[in-house]
Chains A and B, each alone.
Chain A
Amino acid sequence: MSAIITLSLLAILVLYLGLFKARRALLPVSLLGLVATVVLYGVQWGKTAEPLYSGMVLFDHFAVVFSVVCVILTILVLLLSKDYFDKSSPHVAEYYALLLFSLTGAVLVVSFHNLAMLFIGIEIMSVALYILAGIRKKDFASNEAALKYFLMGAYSTGFLLFGIALLYGASGSFDLAAIKEYVVSNPQGISPLFYAGILLLIVSLAFKLGAAPFHFWTPDVYDGSPILITIFMATVVKTAAIAGFLRLFYFCFIPLQDFWVPVLLVMTIITLFVGNLTAIVQQSVKRMLAYSSISHAGYLLFAIVAIGATSANSVLFYVTAYSLSTIIGFGSLILVKRATGSEHFEAFNGLAKKNPYLSLAIAIAMLSLAGIPLTAGFVGKFMMFSGVLADYQVLLVVLAVINAAMGIFYYFRVIVAMYFKPLDRDAIVVSGPYRVVFFLAALITLLLGVYPAWLTGLI
């Protein structure tokens, strides 16, 4: 709990720093606060978790691990933000504050123990992001992204609220323990309201996660938003959404597996194919990464289709691998766009000659996203597939392997452009923080690929 309080106070402190024009202090203070949050979570580790505040939040291992992942990803995003915002507007402090507010929402989403907290967490996370998507006020794309994100987000909030109302009507409580109690104690007499509620919740959480058939906003919003905000959406928000999804279903709905697993199974297959098939035909790297993030949402859903004790671990591993690579992918896109003004594959031509280290980091990220052995992405995919295989969903694994092959095709286009398409170009200047982020992300990706046990035993 102290971590959440620290986060919200930190955001308010940042707002005040902006008021007193202490612009240079913004980034160090934010980073320091986030590190303090991680430490506070670390102190909490290992203690027996009790639901706090009349069962509103529960900081079990699941919550702590995913919160720490969210906070660390935000630290990496903030490092990339050095001199990113300065050019666009004078209100830098507000941007940092909004990012921190959004992070607070994400942390609530992964540690909720009551549907009220889920609802409020999702709302805080999303409202801050609607604004952040539209902060380039003079840019057409940014405005359009904000409008689309808001309309779809509010729409899904409607579904979420109605779904929660139906669950409440059937079980008489918002508390996860009480809902579970209701499901376990009436195996025959589950009210039809409860089933309708589960369906509506699936719809709304799939919206947030960007899974088909509710994915259509994703490419436009990821494309139109400022790249830094896109990184935040594609990593932290996705992590929080899948963790919240898993938490709700793992706590409450496992006895009703026969009802909702077929629904999710169909959604997963559609998500994989939609994401990969459209990613292949993209000409812009930003849109390619946006569509590929849809397909990764599909892989993440595997863990919920094969829900069980190992699901949390596979999701943790997959989401870490995916997020680190995504940070490198989009982060290098910031640099390339700054240098060439273009987001197309051609903008990466000949990069390997002039920036060998940057290209190496990008190559590692793309290999990890494609799921090539010795990277974290491979281990993540392996854990997902073996989880599903244990449930005898052989067809799903076959389809997923076909999709992974399609993924290799479009991720390799970036690598081919960098290494095999010669072009005379100037070297891109990679500033200090970017080097640190890329180095760390690439290093962790490789280390996790070789020693996966470091992360798998955590939950």
Chain B
Amino acid sequence: MSVFYFVAFLSIFFALMTIFTKNPVHSVLYLVITFFTFTVHYILLNAQFLAVVNFIVYMGAIMVLFLFVLMLLNLNKDTEPLKSNLVKFMGVIAGMCLLVTLAASFRLLQISDPVVLKNPDIGLVSNLGKVLFSDFLLPFEISSILLLTAMVGAVLLAKNDPKKV
């Protein structure tokens, strides 16, 4: 129980650090820690396979990609603070409104039984695999189209055109 409070505190703390740090590289590093706390959340929620996927895909692949691009663009310097206070103000208002609404609707939630293990095997890869290849077969196959699209697109955009065709 105290693990949850500790991890939840860390999640929010590092998420705040992510968006308020001036140096983009530090900010991305804080994001890595935030994602690590998510991995712990998933384990607490008994989603072991998802925790592993999150660890590998987000902390491994995506964050390396982010850092790589930051280094490539040589952005390892402080970004100047935001010019317009109005936008900042609007951002705060919008964020707070949403937070209050969501929190209020969660408070009203009926199903507040404690998170206990109804079915301890729920997050194991064999069960998840069965679901993926029975109920979610079509989305699973279709998402290959998305991956192909993204691959073609990323290569197409990042590749240098030859000077003269």
On A, residues with C-beta under 8 Å from B are 8, 11-12, 15, 52-54, 56-57, 89-91, 94, 97-98, 101, 104-105, 108, 114, 116-117, 120-121, 123-124, 127-128, 130-131, 134-135, 137, 189, 191-193, 195-196
Find chain B residues with CB under 8 A from A137 CB: 157, 161
B109 and A192 contacting across the interface, CB-CB below 8 Å = yes
B139 within 8 A of A: yes
| Partner of A128 from B101, B153, B165 at Cβ < 8 Å | B153
Partner of A131, one of B104, B138, B153, B162: B153
Over the window 141-165 of chain B, the binary record of Cβ atoms lying under 8 Å from chain A Cβ atoms (1 yes, 0 no) is 0110110111011001100011001
| A15 / chain B contacts, CB cutoff of 8 Å | 152
Quick check: is B61 within 8 A (CB to CB) of the other chain? no
Q: In the bound complex, what is the Cα–Cα distance between A193 and B111 (angstroms)?
A: 11
**Interface residue from B105, B138, B145, B148 paired with A53 (Cβ < 8 Å):** B138
| Interface contact A54-B156, CB-CB below 8 Å | no
Residue contacts A-B, CB under 8 angstroms, 13 given: A11-B145, A12-B148, A54-B134, A90-B161, A90-B165, A101-B149, A105-B145, A116-B136, A117-B142, A128-B149, A131-B153, A191-B110, A196-B105
Question: Contacts A117-B142, A120-B143; is A53 near B153 (CB within 8 Å)?
Answer: no
| Contact across chains for B149 and A98 when beta carbons are under 8 A apart | yes
- B105: chain A residues at CB < 8 Å are 191-193, 195-196
| Interfacial chain A residues near B138, Cβ < 8 Å | 52-54, 56-57, 117
**Contact A130-B153, Cβ < 8 Å, known A53-B138, A56-B138, A120-B139:** yes
Specify which chain A residues have a CB less than 8 angstroms from the CB of B139 in the assembled complex: 56, 114, 116-117, 120
A299→B149 CA distance, assembly (Å): 32
Say whether B142 contacts A124, CB under 8 Å: yes
Q: Which residue of B lies closest to A114 (CB)?
A: B139
The interface residues of chain A lying within 8 Å CB-to-CB of B157 are 131, 134-135, 137
Closest to B165 in A: A90
B24, chain A: closest CB distance, angstroms = 16
Q: State in angstroms the CA–CA spacing of A90 and B165 once bound together.
A: 7
Please, which residues of chain B bring their CB within 8 A of the CB of A108? 142
Find chain B residues with CB under 8 A from A123 CB.
Answer: 146
Q: Does the CB pair B156–A91 fall under 8 Å?
A: yes
Which 7 A-B residue pairs are closest in the complex by CB-CB distance? A131-B153, A192-B105, A53-B138, A56-B138, A116-B139, A54-B135, A101-B149
Total residues of chain B contacting the partner, CB 8 A? 28
Most buried by A among B135, B137, B156: B156
Known: A54-B136, A56-B139, A116-B136. 7 other contacts (CB 8 A): A90-B161, A90-B165, A98-B153, A114-B139, A120-B143, A128-B153, A131-B149
**Are A193 and B152 in contact, CB atoms less than 8 angstroms apart?**
no
**Chain A proximity of B29: nearest CB distance (Å):** 22
* Chain A contacts for B142, CB-based, 8 A: 108, 117, 120-121, 124
In the assembled complex, the Cα of A108 lies from the Cα of B138 at a distance in Å of 11
Q: State whether the Cβ of B13 lies closer than 8 Å to any Cβ in chain A.
A: no
Closest CB-CB distance, B43 to chain A, in whole Å?
19
Instruction: Assess A124 versus B135: contact at CB under 8 Å? Given A131-B153, A196-B102.
Output: no
Within the assembled complex, what's the spacing in Å between the Cα atoms of A12 and B148? 9
Give chain B nearest CB distance to A368 CB in angstroms. Answer: 33
B90 interface hit (Cβ, 8 Å): no
Tell me the complex Cα distance, A57–B138, Å.
9
Chain A residues, CB < 8 A from B143: 120
- In whole angstroms, what is the CA distance A277 to B139 when docked? 42
> Of A52, A53, A98, A116, which is within 8 A of B152 by CB?
A98
| B152 / chain A contacts, CB cutoff of 8 Å | 15, 94, 97-98, 131
* A343 to B162 CA separation, bound complex (whole angstroms): 30
Distance, CA A121 to CA B145, complexed state (A): 10
A159 to B150, CA, bound (A): 21
Q: Judge whether B161 and A131 touch: CB under 8 Å.
A: no
Q: How far is the CA of A122 from the CA of B105 in the complex (A)?
A: 27
- Alpha-carbon separation in the docked complex, A56 to B138 (Å): 7
Query: Which positions 66-88 of chain B face chain A at CB distance < 8 Å?
Result: none
Closest chain-B Cβ to A232's Cβ sits at a distance in Å of 15
> What sequence of 0s and 1s flags, for each residue 91-135 of chain B, a beta carbon within 8 Å of any chain A beta carbon?
000000000011011101110000000000000000000000011
B134 contacts across to A, CB distance below 8 A: 54
Contacts of B136 in A (CB 8 A): 54, 56, 116
Task: Give complex CA distance A91, B145 in Å.
Answer: 19
Q: Are B161 and A127 in contact (CB under 8 A)?
A: no
Knowing A54-B137, A90-B161, A120-B142, the reply to whether A127 touches B153 (Cβ < 8 A) is yes
Q: Is the CB of A193 within 8 A of B153?
A: no
CB distance from A170 to the nearest CB of B (A): 9
B3 to chain A, nearest CB (A): 23
How far apart are the CA atoms of A130 and B106 in the complex, in Å? 35
Contact (Cβ within 8 A) B156 A101: no
The answer to whether residues A94 and B156 also contact, given A54-B134, A117-B138 and a CB cut-off of 8 A, is yes
- Tell me the complex Cα distance, A76–B13, Å: 53
